[in-house]
Structure formats: structure tokens, C-alpha cells
Amino acid sequence: MNGQIPTREKMTTIGDGGKRFWLYPAKFTGEWLNRRRVMAVVLILFFFILPWIDINGSQAVLLDIADRKFAFFGLVLWPQDFSILWFFAAGTAILVLFLTAQWGRLWCGWACPQTVFLEHVFRRIEIWIEGDARQRRKLDQAPISVSKFSKKALKYVIFIAISSHFANTVLCYFVGTDQVLHMTFQDPRENWGWFTFMAFFNFMFFVDFAWFREQFCLIACPYGRFQSVLLDSDSMIVGYDYNRGEPRGKLRKNQERTEGDCIDCNRCVAVCPTGIDIRQGLQMECINCTACMDACDEIMFKVNKPPKLIRYTAIADLEGRVRRFMRPRVIVYLVLVLALYGAGTYLMLFNRGLKFQIVRPPGQSFTLSEADAVVSNHFEVKATNRSEAIWTVTTEVPAGFEVVTPRNPWEIPAEETATLPIFVRKQKTLFNTSGKERAVVTFRDERTGAVLYQTEVTLMGPAQ
């Protein structure tokens, strides 16, 4: 890094004694903020509306851990589909590594619920009630008064209402919207477990958005902690162009500046929701929210300089090197993502529905009924129904053979594995002299007659 850039020694929000410095990020405008607002509105609507949408009779997204049912836009997965879930979850984890290596903390700035709700909902309400940074600071420092009390009370009542709606929506994703609606009109004592869950999350969301705020990104978020290993000099970051900006210096009246473009106005610091100075280089606290980009563009416009002194860039760009898009680790990530998603898709398409397995119980060969001279072989059929439909299946054997089973037709419940004993029989006199016969066992859908599974079994009998 450029030697002119000062290095950082401590977190901007933590004082010497560990005391937290409360941040008052300033209001700003700009094209990146407008884009992020559109994105935030879409995401917020998506989040609140999705639990009310049904696709193929299932909630669009449902993570019902208690009933072990997971629905994603019409695809319903059950515990027996764990392998599909695993492949998609592992693929998504690697996809996050790939996206971060390429585009940095795009997720944090544009799509993380913490940023979306804090910056586009809670902070806006706070600014609407208490004013811009200077007024908010003044209000906090002022002694209690009717005006201060009413502003704070109004703000917290709105925060609690939004947090409550947020918590109820989260519950809809885990329990199901119908169930949440049902519980809403019941006595809380009848669902005390879920009620406690909801009240706890309501409290946690309120504390997070009203007080904890940027500390969540700085201290609690595991994704933020991994940035130093996920980013490299070719990853996209929000960066300050120190080649153009330095040496910085104050703008003096009627004096033409001949040094760098940064006029040291600190506007980029004033708007930063994590309180950092982007001019100090890439920092773990930077959530790539683009606020400093907008703020600095506004200043550059006012001082007649080109915009983008702070911009989306990469360390390689700032150091004058060519930014590499494809690097070995990025290629490895991409290959892994494709392989894991491919395996998950394969299992989803070809390993669902009804699966049969037919085996001879250990230690059994055949039985011979002396009375009617029939050779009988015992098999166990195991059918796994990985669908939401109940299947009714008939079992058949070719002419010359007979199948005896307690259930024919046989009903296989949805999302269950069922077993059925079957006895395949043949007249002893018609039996092959080698003592072995082959028979094709067919399982058909009783309703349509379609063959669901067909396999050849070997019958043992007395050698003649």
C-alpha cells in the first residue's frame, strides 16, 4: 500500500477502556444509494410476501425443522432427501467463497438483512424522527424533556412494531404461515414454546436494530471475520484511489489546489455506518455499502473534479497491475460449485419418486410344500416413497409362477419406506432340473398400469 496512507491501530467504535463510541452516520444522497434502495425494497417485499405464497400446495419457502419438511419453490425435501440438501448446501457455501473472491462483500452491502433493514428501514425512521447526524447527537446529549421523551418513545414503539412483524415472518418460514396465523388467535399458553421463540426473536431484533447495529457486523458476523482469507488483491472492493487523492489537503478560499484530489473534508467518514475511514485502505469493518462512494462523488462534483475517487475497484487496479478475473482458487471454487450443484440436481431429478429394492432374507433358500408339491421362495421388498403422493402398487410374476403376499395391491404412504414379504412359488414338477429358476417380478401402478419397477429374481428349488 501507498506509504502515505496512515495505518489503523484500533476499532473506530471502541474506546480505550472498551467503551463503545455511538455512531451518528450522516444523511447523504447519490446514485448508488438509489440503486441500493430499489434492491432493498425488492428484498423486503420478497421477505414479507414469500411466506404467503403457495406453490404446488406447499409454502414457497418453508424450513419446518420440527416436521423435517423443507420446501423451496415447489420442491419439497424430506429427511430421506438429506443428500440432496447436503449437496446444495455445500455448493452454496462454496458459491459464497467464489462470489466473495470475485466481488468482495457485495452481499453485505446489498443483500444482508442486517444492512437492508438497518440502513433502509430503521435508520431512515430514526432520521425522520430525530433528524440528521448533528441533531441526533444533540438530542442524545440533551437532558430529558417532553420533546426528547416523545421522539424516543415514538421511535421505539415503531421499532418494536417492525421487529415484531419481522419475528413473526421469520416464524412463518420455520413453522408455516397457516400455523402462525392459527397460533396468533390462540391463548399464548397453548403454544408457549413458539410464543417464547417469537418473543425472544422480537426482543433480539429490536436490540439489534435499535442498539447493537454495526457491532453485529464488526463482532458477531462470522462472514465478516473470514474476509481476510476470502479476499485477495484481485477481488472487488470499495477502495479509495490514493494515487489520485494523495497528498490530501484542505480546500482554501480563492486558492487553486495543486496536490491530490482529496480535500480532506471527512464526508466519507461522516456517512460510514461502521465509522471507518476508507482512505486508510481495505479494512475488515468495511461492509461495501457504497455510502462513501456517493458522499465523495457529491464532494468531487462540488469542487469540479471527476467522480469515483472512491469507487468499486481492486487492490491490483490501485497498484497499477492488471486485475485477473480467473485465478487458480477461483477456478477451483467454480469447479466445486458446478460439481456439487450438478450432483444435487442429478439426485433431485433421478433419485426421487418411488424406489424399490428386493432381497432374499439372510439364511433362507426355499421351502417345499409336500401337500401340493410347490416350491416357495421368500423375498423382502423395500419401497421408499420420496414423493408427497400415496402410491398403490400391484405385484406380478410371469405365467407358470405364482406370487403370494399379504398385500396385493400394496399401499405405500407418502414420504415413507415400507416393506412387504412376497413368496414366489412354482410347481415342483415344472422346476428346472438344475434346481434354479429365474422369474421377473413386476411392480405396477395400480391406477395407470404403468410398470414402476421390474427385476429378475432367482428361485432355488430341489435339484432333480
- Asked if 11 is part of the footprint of ligand SF4 (rule: CB under 6 A), the reply reads no
**Exposure pattern of 88-118 as b/e (b: 16+ CB <10 Å)?**
bebbeebbbbbbbbbebbebbbbebebbbbb
Touching ligand SF4, residues 196-255 (CB under 6 A): 238, 240, 245
- Asked if 31 is part of the footprint of ligand SF4 (rule: CB under 6 A), the reply reads no
**How far, in Å, CA of 103 to CA of 313, rounded?**
10
Q: Residues in contact with ligand SF4, total (CB under 6 A)?
A: 29
280: amino acid identity, one letter? Q
- Asked if 263 is part of the footprint of ligand SF4 (rule: CB under 6 A), the reply reads yes
- Asked if 286 is part of the footprint of ligand SF4 (rule: CB under 6 A), the reply reads yes
- Asked if 262 is part of the footprint of ligand SF4 (rule: CB under 6 A), the reply reads yes
For residue 307, the minimal CB distance to ligand SF4 (Å) is: 10
Q: Which of 296, 340, 422, 424 binds ligand SF4 (CB under 6 A)?
A: 296
For residue 264, the minimal CB distance to ligand SF4 (Å) is: 5
Concatenate the DSSP letters of all residues of 188-208 into one string.
GGGGHHHHHHHHHHHHHHHHI
- Asked if 289 is part of the footprint of ligand SF4 (rule: CB under 6 A), the reply reads yes
Q: Which residues neighbour 103 within 8 Å (Cβ) at sequence distance 6 or greater?
A: 235, 236
What is the distance of C-alpha 116 from the center of its chain? Answer: 15
Q: Which stretch in 34-42, 64-72, 290-298, 369-377 sits in contact with ligand SF4 by CB under 6 A? A: 290-298
Burial class (CB in 10 A: 0-12, 13-18, 19+), 164: middle
Cell, residue 167: 419475528
- Asked if 259 is part of the footprint of ligand SF4 (rule: CB under 6 A), the reply reads no
- Asked if 315 is part of the footprint of ligand SF4 (rule: CB under 6 A), the reply reads no
Q: Which stretch in 84-92, 263-271, 383-391, 424-432 sits in contact with ligand SF4 by CB under 6 A? A: 263-271
Q: Which stretch in 63-71, 293-301, 418-426, 437-445 sits in contact with ligand SF4 by CB under 6 A? A: 293-301
- Residue 4 phi, psi (nearest 5): -80, -10
Cell, residue 132: 440528521
For residue 138, the minimal CB distance to ligand SF4 (Å) is: 23
Query: Three-class SS of residue 452?
Result: strand
The site for ligand SF4 (CB under 6 A) is made up of 238, 240, 245, 262-268, 271-274, 276, 278-279, 286-292, 295-296, 299, 309-310
